[in-house]
Structures are given as structure tokens and as C-alpha cells.
Amino acid sequence: MKIAVLIKQTPDTAELPKVSADEVRTGDVKAAMVINPWDEFAAEEAVRLDERFGAETVAITLGGPEATDALKHALAMGVAGAKRIDDSQLPDGDIWLTATLLAAAVQAEGEVDLVLTGKQSVDENSGSVHVGVAQKLGYPLLTNVVEIQEVEGGQVRAVRLVDGARETVQVPLPAVISVGKEINEPRYPSFMGIRKASRAQIPTLTPEELGVAVPDSHVRWDRIRKPEERKTQVQIFDGATVEEKAAKLVDALLAEKVI
Amino acid sequence: MSLLVWIEQAQGSAVPSCWEVLGQGRKLADALKTPLVALVMGEETEATAAAAAQYGADTVLTLTSPLLARYRLTAYAAGLRQAIQEADATVILTSATQNGRELCAAVACELDAGLAPDVVDLRVEEGQLVATRSIYSNNILVDVTFTTPRQFASVRPRSFPMPEAADAASAEIRELPLSLDEEQIPEKILEVAQTDGGEISLTDARIIVSGGRGVAADPARGFQLVAELAQVLGGAVGASRAAVDAGYIPYKHQVGQTGKTVRPDLYIAAGISGAIQHLAGMGGSKIIVAINKDPDAPIFSRAHYGIVGDLFEVLPALTAEFKKRLGQQK
Ligand SMILES: Cc1cc2nc3c(=O)[nH]c(=O)nc-3n(C[C@H](O)[C@H](O)[C@H](O)COP(=O)(O)OP(=O)(O)OC[C@H]3O[C@@H](n4cnc5c(N)ncnc54)[C@H](O)[C@@H]3O)c2cc1C
């Protein structure tokens, strides 16, 4: 079995508020960068599937040279190989271009059975790239998977979390699966893993090498800006008793007509 | 040409946030001088189709089939494509629910069309559709315009007000035959375990009462008090990640960056410090109320109203007070 894990390098979530509109505009985000937290679950699941069923695993990212660090994190967790698609010559991130390139890189791996990924990225949070990858590859897609039960006989059986229910679904392989956080607990990379990853040579692919012609962008981004600061002055209700405080708050909320 | 809105059904009835999208769709369609089409798919479609007419659709297209009993991407994407073709739709909108986001993206990709996922605003400027996205955990806004003739957007729940339903409506309701059979659908649903019966979904809730690690002294009672207040207000129960990680309450209640993004009219945070990852999920709430022992908790700098105190005392007092007042009103 062969598994490709799609990962992205994103700002550390605690750094997101510091990211400026200018940095987003130029694509030069200065925040401390990490592997997208959602993708860590996918990397972990790839390693676990390898442990359960035996699998060849490869992590793939689209990004600049610095994104190699996110791949090394996946390697240190136990993913066997890594590839980076270089995005430095590309126009601003277009979801379908990203999906096309990732799909092409998956195809370049040969016979991949499963493509695993997180449910969205914490920066652009479109939650759409893996949908596009499945479309471009023509593979069935299962999103928000919280348990992969069985991979056998050319089928994968998995549990999806949907609003109000847990669904057990089966699809033929090859398939694309996005995972939810309940699926596992990502491991900390081991010392040995980190040492091995730090020495790894990570091949770089270009869009030309993948045979992808860069199309015109499907959308334009304008007026990248910070949201207006909400100048809320909190009103704290005092009172001799808790009942008195509660009554004042209820008065205020009824006056706001939100109830 | 037309503007098409998918009205998602869950457990046989319409997902409320789809009406918000249809309501805004009405305004956009008028500005674009194009008809407003609603699409309803499912095993049964009649009641939702009638409601779509009342909420302002000019035409309602339905696809009714046992194959559509539960959402499956392949089947629903085929249905949406059929409807787009039938209505010659150029603008296609869904609510950005889990399924809505996915379906919108899949069909946009298939038709090689521009997509604006999870938008918080949608308007027409100089005859052009403009969508605003809120990214980087709501720390950056960006206006998206389209360079493709077909334009897709999924709209974050609670971005637009709930429209008024008309008493009588005169939309044309038209059934389309689903041109797909079971063999062509790779997803086979083997089992469905219902997880919450009749709970209000966090994403649709207009009122949310959330609990955090502040309940630690007695987690079971703490969340019971949270739930009692939520119930009196007809709201949903939320939680911080610390509360979820500690096992006080299941993950589906988690609000925040790695939980759900919510936009209620009223968000009451009890025993929640207000870490940025939590604010990322609820910062868009209209009115925020904080209940916290610590007057310096960061949540107070984002809240509109606050009570400094022990949630084990404040929550029961609030519940009692609301019972009294709401009882009087009704
Ligand atoms: C990658 C990443 C993603 C994350 N995603 C999320 C997310 O989606 N959602 C989320 O919520 N967090 C998330 N977090 C965690 C976040 O950083 C905080 O740790 C978490 O929100 C804290 O939860 P809390 O406020 O309930 O707990 P605490 O920070 O422990 O705060 C508890 C509060 O309760 C108050 N308190 C204690 N006892 C009482 C009492 N009896 N009455 C009243 N008040 C009391 C205290 O004063 C304190 O302010 C994430 C973190 C990371 C690193």
C-alpha cells in the first residue's frame, strides 16, 4: 500500500493575530511557522496505517524552501519520504492550481492508494484544497474521517463525523481522505526521528516537471486588511448579591433584544 | 442566467442557515437582475421546496430519490450539476456547513470555476459579485472577485439575517429526474449512528452558553448549570478546548480555532479565560458576556458585559432570573 500525506506549513496558531495584511499580500509571512496542526493528524494516521498494514508513506507539500521544515516534521514523526513542489514562480495561491499541482505530485508517485490530509489549513482555511485534489485525481473523497477501520480488497472502510451522526462509509481505492482531530493523538517526534529528518535530502519538483501549465487565476484577492478593532468597553455588573448582578445583566440583554 | 442556492436538508428538514443564504441571494439576484433559484435534494423534498418558495425563490428545482436519502458527495454533486445546467446558473451559493463547503468546492472545481469558500459577506458592486473572506483565524479580511463566468461561494452560517417567510408564495416548483444510479456512486454508507438527538447545532445557534476549565471543581455540575441556562434561552452548549481535553464534554461542543466557528447573537462564556484560539471561534458573536472569577481574564477585553464571580453561583442566578422574566413575557 502506498500513502501520500498532503501537508502545509502555516503560522503557529498563537502567531496568527500578529500576521499583517502586508505579509499576506506579499506572501512573506514572518510568524513562526509550523506544520499545519490539522495536517499533523494526517501524518500521524499515515504512520499508524504503516504500522498496522505496512505502507510506503510520502509527505508532499507545496511551498517555498522554508516549507521543508514542515516536511521534516512529518519525517521525524515517521513518514518515510518527502517531496516539495516549489511555488516560488507561481501567482498568488489559487485553490485549483494548488489542487492540480498536489494531484500531479501524487500521480508522479506511481500507484498511490490513499491520499491523507487535514481538514483545512489554519491560515487560509478554505477547506477546499483536498476536495479539488480528489476531483483532479478522479478519486472518491471522504472528509472529516475519525477512524480508518479497514483497508483491504481494494476498499477502505472509515467512520466520518457528520452533523448529528457517525457514518461508516466504504469507498474503493484509491481514495482521498481528510481527517478530523478525533482520529488520533499525533506523536512527538523522537530524538532519532529528528536526527534522521534533519539529514534528509528532500527532492524539489517544479510545475514544469509535473507537466502542469500554470493557468490564469480563477479569483482575485483585493483589499487585504485587518478587521476593524472591536472597541468594546466591557460593562461589569456589580451588586451586593449575585442575584442583583444577574438581574442587571438580564436587564441589559433584554434591552439588546438578543433574547 | 440565474442565481442558485442549495437548500441542504438534514434529518428531513432544511438546515436553517440555508435560509439566510437564500435571503441574501434574493438581494443579490435583484441587484444582478437575474432569477433566484433554490435547489432541494433528498428522499423527500416537498416541504422544504414549499418553504423555499416562501423564503423568496422564483423557481425551486427538486431532485427526489432514495439515492439522495443521505448526503453523499458523488450523488449530490451530480444533482447540483444537473440543476446548474437546467437553471443556467452563473452564481451558485451554499451555506458553509460541512457538506455545503464540500459540495460547493467539488462542483466549482469540476466546472473549473472560481470559488470563494466560507465567506462572511457577499454583495454586488458595479455589477460584480464581491465576496469577503475572513482568514488567518479571523485576523485578516480579503475581498474576492471572480475572473470566471461561473462563480461559487459557500457562506459562513449567521453571516446574514434570517429572512421573513411570506404567507403565500407563487414560485414554480419543478422536479428534475436524477440521471444517476447506485452503481455510479462509490460511497456506500454501511452504518449510521445518531450522536445527538434534537440538540441545536452550534453553527446555527443564535444563543450559545459555553463552559471552560472554570468548571473544574465539579465538571459534571458545571456543565449541567451551563446546559440549564442554555435550555432556558433556547440555545446550544459550547465549550473551550481545555474543557474538551479534560474530558468534561465531547469535542463536538468545542468552539474555537480547532473547534467550530460560531456567530451567535449572544455568546455567554463561563469559566473561559479567552485564549486567542478560543476567540478565533467566537469573536464574531454579536454580544459577548463573560462570567469569570478573575477580573483580569483576557475574555473581559472582548466581552460587552461581564460578571466577576464564581460560575457555580452566577449561572444558577442567571437561569432563575431569565426564567422569571421570560415567563412573564410569554
Ligand atoms: C493549536 C491550538 C489550537 C487550539 N484550539 C482551541 C480551540 O479551538 N478552542 C479553545 O477554546 N481553545 C483552543 N486552544 C487552547 C487555548 O489556547 C486555551 O488553552 C483554552 O482555550 C483554554 O481554555 P479555558 O479558557 O477553558 O481554560 P483556562 O485558560 O484554564 O481558563 C479557565 C478560566 O476559568 C476561570 N475560572 C476558574 N474557576 C472559575 C469559577 N469557579 N468561576 C468562574 N470562573 C472560573 C479562570 O479564572 C480562567 O480564566 C488551542 C491551542 C492550540 C495550541
Q: Is the ipTM of this complex over 0.85?
A: yes
CB contact under 8 A, A169 and B190: yes
- Residue B71's H or E segment, with its range, is none
pLDDT tens across B132-171, in order?
Answer: 999 998 899 999 999 999 999 999 999 999 999 998 888 9
Is the pLDDT reported for residue B198 higher than 80?
no
Contact at CB, A232 and B302, closer than 8 angstroms:
yes
For residues B116 and B243, membership in a common domain is answered with: no
Number of structural domains, chain B?
2
B153 and B25 within one domain:
yes
- The Cα angle at residue B229 between residues B227 and B234, in degrees rounded to 5: 90
Please give the Cα distance from B197 to B195 (Å, whole number). Answer: 7
Is there a domain that residue B234 lies in?
Answer: yes
Q: Is residue B28 part of a domain?
A: yes
The response to whether B128 counts as a known ligand-binding position is: no
Residue nearest to atom 47 of ligand 1 (CA): B294
Cα dihedral: B295, B299, B302, B308 (round 10): -30
User: Which pLDDT score is estimated for A71?
Assistant: 97
For residue A229, is it within any domain?
A: no
Distance CA A252, CA A258 (A): 10
B12 and B126 share a domain?
A: yes
Assess whether B259 and B307 both reside in one domain.
Answer: yes
B94 and B179 in a common domain: yes
Which residue has cell 432556558?
A: B232
Beta-ladder partners of B6 = B39
Q: Are residues B177 and B35 in the same domain?
A: yes
- Quick check: is A79 in a domain? yes
* Residue A97, domain extent: 2-205
CATH code, A32: 3.40.50.620
Is A48 a member of any domain?
yes
Give the residue whose CA is nearest to atom 23 of ligand 1. Answer: B242
Q: Alpha-carbon distance B314 to A29, whole Å?
A: 43
Q: Is B266 on the interface with A (CB under 8 A)?
A: yes
d(C-alpha B330, C-alpha A198), whole Å: 67
Q: Is the distance from CB of A124 to CB of A137 less than 8 angstroms?
A: no
- The single-letter DSSP state of residue B197 is S
Instruction: Grade residue B330 by pLDDT with cuts at 50, 70 and 90.
Output: very low
Task: Give the domain CATH number at B253.
Answer: 3.40.50.1220
First to last CA, chain B: 47
pLDDT of B197 higher than 80: no
| Centroid of ligand 1 to alpha carbon of A13 (angstroms) | 15
Specify if B330 maps to a domain: no
pLDDT digits (tens, 9 = 90+) for A128-153: 999 999 999 999 999 999 999 999 99
C-alpha span between A115 and B137 (Å, rounded): 26
DSSP H helices, chain A, are 21-26, 37-53, 68-77, 95-108, 129-137, 191-199, 242-256
What pTM, to 2 d.p., does this model score?
A: 0.90
Extract the C-alpha cell encoding A18: 500578529
Q: Specify the pLDDT at position B328.
A: 54
**B160 and B299 inside one domain:** no
**Do the Cβ atoms of A245 and B287 come within 8 Å?**
no
Q: Does B293 touch chain A (CB under 8 A)?
A: no
Burial class (CB in 10 A: 0-12, 13-18, 19+), B330: exposed
Residue A104 reports pLDDT greater than 60: yes
For residue B234, the enclosing domain spans: 207-325
Q: Residues near ligand 1 with C-beta < 6 Å?
A: A 13, 37; B 212-214, 217, 240-243, 254, 256-259, 271-273, 275, 277-278, 281, 291-294, 297, 310-312
To which residue does cell 442566467 refer?
B1
Specify the pLDDT at position B170.
85
Residue B59 has which C-alpha cell? 423557481
Task: List chain B residues with CB under 8 Å of A33.
Answer: none
Which of B221, B257, B268 is the best mutation target for the ligand 1 pocket, counting ligand atoms within 8 Å of the beta carbon and taking the most? B257
Q: Are residues B174 and B220 in the same domain?
A: no
Q: How many C-beta neighbours within 10 Å does residue A111 have?
A: 10
In a domain, B189, yes or no: no
Read off the pLDDT of residues A10-53 as tens digits, 9 standing for 90 and up. 999 989 999 999 999 988 899 999 999 999 999 999 999 999 99
Rounded to whole angstroms, the Cα distance separating B108 from B113 reads 5
C-alpha cell of residue B231: 435550555
Domains contained in chain A, number: 1
Answer yes or no: do A127 and B101 touch at CB < 8 A. Answer: yes
pLDDT in tens, B66-91: 999 999 999 999 999 999 999 999 99
Residue B193 within a domain: no
Q: Are residues B253 and B123 in the same domain?
A: no
CA of residue B214 to ligand 1 center, whole Å: 8
Regarding whether B82 and B177 lie in a shared domain, the answer is: yes
Q: B106 and B14 in one domain?
A: yes
Identify whether A244 is part of a domain. no
Coil vs helix vs strand at A126: coil
Q: What percent of chain B has pLDDT over 70?
A: 98
H or E element at residue A79: none
**Residues in chain B, overall count:** 330
Write down the pLDDT at residue A91.
77
- CATH number at B44 reads 3.40.50.620
Same domain, B162 and B23: yes
